[in-house]
Each structure stands twice: as structure tokens, then as C-alpha cells.
Amino acid sequence: MYGWFRDLLPAEVIEAPISSGITVKPRQAPLCTLCRGGKRLCGRSICPIELKARALVKNSEAVMKTELSGSSPPAVFVGRYGYPKVSVGPMVPPLSGDTSVMDIPEAWLSESIESIVNYRYSLVRGTIRVEIDSAKKGGRMVDLLQELSMGISPAEAEVRFTRPPAGRISIDDNSQPFGPSAPLERFDLSSVKVDHRIERAFYDGDLKAADAAYSLYSSGVQVSKLQRAFSMGVFGIQKNRRIVPTRWSITAVDSMLSQRIIDEVKNYETIDKYCVYFWKHQHNTFAALLFPRAWSFEWMEAWFPGTFWNQGGSAAAVIGDYEGFSGRKTYPEIGGCYFSCRLGVAEHLRSERRQATALVVREIMPEFPLPLGVWFVRENIRTMFRQRPLEFEDLAAALRHLSTRLRVPLRRWVSKSTILRDAIFQRRIDEYFKLGEIQCQATRPQSAGA
């Protein structure tokens, strides 16, 4: 452990047994070196490094062992490094009982950031390397993990590691919190209660993965559970099944589900007013402007100076990605949050049985301590659309109101937004027809009795 890093941490963290197993990933260390946790030079009220360290050592006595038993939420993890040979394994906390909340992001929005980080660091990851096509070949370890991925409630697990688990604290602020890990020597599972809806899809080797995921979603299976099962190759044509890294499976499911809903939404009539939605949570501001036009979508983020994507800037960094009515073919530069947001928008429009052009923006303040995952965007967008919108007859009035709720000046959003530039500067064909009709009425000779 780096000397300056030890100075940053509180005494009870340094003295914990696991502290010797902590590795540091110093990509952007200079600011942390100057700060040492006390000056809050990054602008956050909570030091992300201290937050991770406290969570990591909270259960250090229980996890610094080569054997561990507990109730998996259930949870599995698939890494992406070394693809097509990847690390897979169960995630097990050092406690038994109802641990389900530790791996249900849909239930986390009302939780504090400290609680969420503690959930993640309480789950110890066992790892073993397998080929991605082992999803169709099976094998004892893969079979157990697939069974666990289909679980509907916590399952009792026993693991033996080749060495005591070690933790890793990244100080670049770009990584989600994950608990300690170690290579697996043995893994036993009992009392697994699988979701029979997912199990039926597993045994249907002729059902495409996208069809299985959408059918299960429509029957009420949570998105996070679909993502977990998808990562272990539970869905799809039998000969094509593959294990999918967790990060990729999350984006794949968000993308597949939202596209299915969008295809349905495109058949609805458009909304008839401009609607503005607004929501604030954990030093994040979310806002949406729905236009009375055919489907198109844009997701934009503004990272203020001091946040993890804008460490040394002097102004908010604004980025975004867009798709028109026919969709997009390339992966968005802004990442998986694009699809998690798109899912929330599509769900809302389907519930209203309307289509619209949707511009959704997010402002991230420096007080937001660390990234929590794309679920954070999806669940906040869902919550935002449960709020009552403000309706406006014209775009100018909607934009004036939106500008009073956001910190980034409207001109910055316009300069970066495809939808706003199009709406403001491009006249549409129906507007030409309307203008022509007005002009005809103005020049038409009046009758003698008028």
C-alpha cells in the first residue's frame, strides 16, 4: 500500500487485517496525494477512497479466510478481461439470511450511497476461468452458476479459495465498487429456488435470446435478474449460447428491451404538447423534454469540474448521443447509460400509449462521490417519469422553463444537442403547409358582406 494512501485512511481501516491485501490503482493520484482525504480538493463531501476503504474492511475479519459460507443474493459475476476466456464465479457475503437486497439495483434508489457501496463490498467474488462457449457445453461449475443465476431468492453457498480474498481500491473514480476476490478451489450450492419462468426459457433451446428476455420482462421479471441470467448464457438458441461479461450483458438487455418497446411506441400517435419532467437525486439532476414529434432520442450528460469525468476542467463537460426514427447502428460514445435511459423513456411512452421525440439530460455535481453503475440512470429516469410533467404549447416556453431548472446554460445544451438544433433551426414540412395556409387566408379577397 502506498504511504500517502495510508495517510488518507482512518486508523481503524489501516489496522484492519485486510489492509495488507489492498492494492491501489493510481491513475489520477496527484489530486489525492495533495488532498490526503482531509481537504476535499475534489469538491465532494465524501471522500470516495475513504468510502471504498471503509466498506472493504467492514467485514475483513469474516472474509480474510480461505473458506466462506453465506447466502448468495443470488449473484454471479463474469469478467471481460482475457475474452473469450473469462473469469466467472459466485458472489457470496459472509452472512446468511435474506441477502437479496445486495444484488437488486431496482431497490437501491432509496438507499444511501454508503449503503450501496457496503452491499457491493460485502459480496466476496470467487473466480475461475472458463471459455465463453462453455455455456452450451456445461460442466459442474458452469451448471452451478447457471442455476444460481436463475435463482429467485438467496441460496446457501460454500466456497473455498486458493488464497485469502484481496481487495482493490481504484483511485481513478471510473470503476464501480466491487468486493474482495480470490480464485476458487471449490464451490458448493444448496437450497436454490429458481425462477420457473427463467428455467423454462433455459430449457427452450430453440428460443432466441432477445425473444426470451422480452417475454420474461413482459411477465414481470426484473431487468437486473434478466441481465444476471443473460451473462451466464441461460438464453438463446442452444448451439449459439455464450457466457457474456456482466458489463456487456447489462447493456445488451437494456438495448434489446428498449428496442422492442420502441418498435411498439412508433405505432402510437404523438403527444400533443411539449412536456418537461424534472428530478434530483444524490447530487444529480435529471430533466426530460418530450416533443410532439415522431420518435427520436438523445441522452446528454454534463459533468461539472471535480467529477470523475472532468477532473481538471474549468466548465461543465457536455457530451451526448442521438438516434433518429430508424435508430442507430453504432455503439454510443456515452456508453451503457444511453440504453438504460432509453429503456426508461420507452417504458414511459408505452404506458402513455404515445410516441415523442425525447431529449433527456443529466447534470452531475462534484459532490457525487463515485460511479455506481448504469442502473443508477435507469432507476432515476423511471422515477423522473413518475413525476407530474409541466406542459407547454410551444418549444420556446418549454425551453425557458427548462433553463431555469438546469445549471448549464441553455446555449451549451443547444450547441451540443442534435435534437435541439434541429427543432430550433430546421423548419419541418408540416410547418411550411401551415405557413402557406396562413398566407393564403391573409391574401384571400374578402366577401362583400364581410
Distance CA 213, CA 372 (A): 24
Residues 230 and 359 in one domain: no
Q: What's the mean pLDDT in 32-45?
A: 60
Which range (36-45, 64-73, 426-435) has the least confidence? Answer: 426-435
Residues 205 and 344 in one domain: no
Whether 27 shows a pLDDT value over 60: the answer reads no
Q: What's the mean pLDDT in 177-186?
A: 86
Distance CA 378, CA 381 (A): 5
Strand-pairing partners, residue 189, are 157
Cell numbers at residue 28, please? 489520477
pLDDT for 206: 97
pLDDT digits (tens, 9 = 90+) for 380-423: 999 999 999 999 999 999 999 999 999 999 999 999 999 999 99
β-pair type (155-161, 181-190): antiparallel
pLDDT digits (tens, 9 = 90+) for 79-109: 999 999 999 999 999 899 999 999 999 999 9
Residues 80 and 209 in one domain: yes
pLDDT for 65: 81
- Tell me the residue type at 245: P
Domain presence at residue 444: no
Domain presence at residue 445: no
**What is the domain extent for residue 369?**
274-431
Residues 282 and 180 in one domain: no
pLDDT digits (tens, 9 = 90+) for 130-163: 999 999 888 999 999 999 999 999 999 999 999 9
pLDDT digits (tens, 9 = 90+) for 327-343: 999 999 999 999 999 99
Give pTM, 2 decimals.
0.88
pLDDT for 261: 98
Strand-pairing partners, residue 355, are 270
Domain presence at residue 215: yes
Domain presence at residue 251: no
Residues 311 and 213 in one domain: no
pLDDT digits (tens, 9 = 90+) for 428-440: 655 545 445 544 5
Are 166 and 16 within 8 A, CB to CB?
A: no
pLDDT digits (tens, 9 = 90+) for 216-248: 999 999 999 999 999 999 999 999 999 999 999
Beta strands in 191-349 (DSSP E): 274-281, 284-291, 296-303, 317-323
Query: What's the total number of domains in the chain?
Result: 2
Q: What residues contact 208, with CB distance under 8 A and at least 6 apart?
A: 236, 237
Whether 173 shows a pLDDT value over 70: the answer reads no
Domain presence at residue 438: no
Residues 295 and 200 in one domain: no
Q: Is 317 helix (H, G, I), strand (E, B) or coil?
A: strand
pLDDT digits (tens, 9 = 90+) for 294-306: 999 999 999 998 7
pLDDT for 411: 94
Residues 96 and 169 in one domain: yes
Burial of 268 (0-12, 13-18, 19+ CB in 10 A): middle
